[in-house]
Amino acid sequence: MNDANDSGTEDSRGYYRRLQSAIEELLILKGVFTGADVEREVKAMDSRNPGRGATMVARAWVDPAFKARALQNGSAAAEELGLAVGPLRLIVLEDTPRLHNVIVCTLCSCYPRMLLGLPPEWYKSRNYRSRVVREPRKVLQEFGTHIPDAVEIRVHDSTADMRYMVLPLRPAGTGHLSEERLAQLVTRDSLIGVTLI
């Protein structure tokens, strides 16, 4: 990429930053919300990270009743743990020895931000969004994830009002680990389904 393109991108980012700042200032002046409201919301957004989804996975691994509830209604299960998902419908997808799930949003980048934080750049890329539905096994291999031919791969396409999160297989030999330690094994990419634990 040449310098001209870099400066053009920076100029447009600067424009949008200034526009955001002006709109925010106007809305505060009009009393739509306060500066404290903005700060509180930014802190809430910053607190969202894959550890929240990992907490759900670890609980499902150690509590079969919670796992059943999560598979039936992911939003309600998240709320049980104090993880607000808002008006979106959260669907938890269980990996099994014969089934591997992976998520995508083919139209844009719908993503369970409330449980995983900001989406990675590759998740939003046209390359990932278009290829994972056509050749999921090959895309997963590019992440270093080799799924045996005997294991079915299902690709789930998020929508504006519905999000998915993968419940990965619990690794063998982890029966002695605490729920907190199990949560530390879970990664963002395993919650999307592009990697295993």
Could you tell me what percent of the chain has a pLDDT over 70?
A: 90
Active site residue 109: yes
- Residue holding tokens 């669907």? 91
Range scoring the smallest mean pLDDT among 19-28, 94-103, 180-189: 19-28
Per-residue pLDDT of 63-77, as tens digits, reads 999 999 999 999 999
| Catalytically annotated residue among 75, 105, 158, 190 | 105
Active site residue 75: no
pLDDT at 32 over 70: yes
Mean of the per-residue pLDDT values of the chain: 89
In this prediction, residue 123 carries a pLDDT of: 95
Give the CA count within 13 Å in the CB-facing half-sphere of 47: 8
Q: What is the mean pLDDT of residues 23-46?
A: 80
Output 16 or 23, whichever has higher pLDDT. 23
Per-residue confidence band for 16, with pLDDT thresholds at 50, 70 and 90: confident
CA–CA dist 12, 5 (Å, integer): 11
Mean pLDDT of 127-131: 96
Q: From the candidates 7, 12, 21, 108, give the one annotated as an active-site residue.
A: 108
Burial label, 174 (beta-carbon count in 10 A; 0-12, 13-18, 19+): middle
What pLDDT sits at residue 9?
A: 53
Question: Does residue 125 register a pLDDT over 70?
Answer: yes
- 57: which residues sit within 8 A by CB, 6+ positions away? 167, 168, 182, 183, 186, 191
Of the residues 75, 109, 158, 190, which is catalytic?
A: 109
Q: Judge contact between 136 and 102, C-beta under 8 A.
A: yes
pLDDT score recorded for residue 4: 39
User: Is-contact 160 85, C-beta < 8 A?
Assistant: no
Q: What is the pLDDT of residue 56?
A: 97
Which pLDDT band, with edges at 50, 70 and 90, does 148 fall under? very high
Q: Verify whether residue 110 is a known catalytic residue.
A: yes
Model confidence at 42, pLDDT cuts 50, 70, 90, reads low
Which structure tokens are listed for 16?
A: 């949008």
**Residue with token string 């998740």:** 123
Instruction: Give the confidence band of 155 by pLDDT, cuts at 50, 70, 90.
Output: very high
- For residue 41, is pLDDT > 80? no
User: Nearest-CA neighbor of 50 among 196, 174, 161, 185?
Assistant: 185
The pair of structure tokens assigned to 141 is 């291999």
What pLDDT shows up at residue 50? Answer: 85
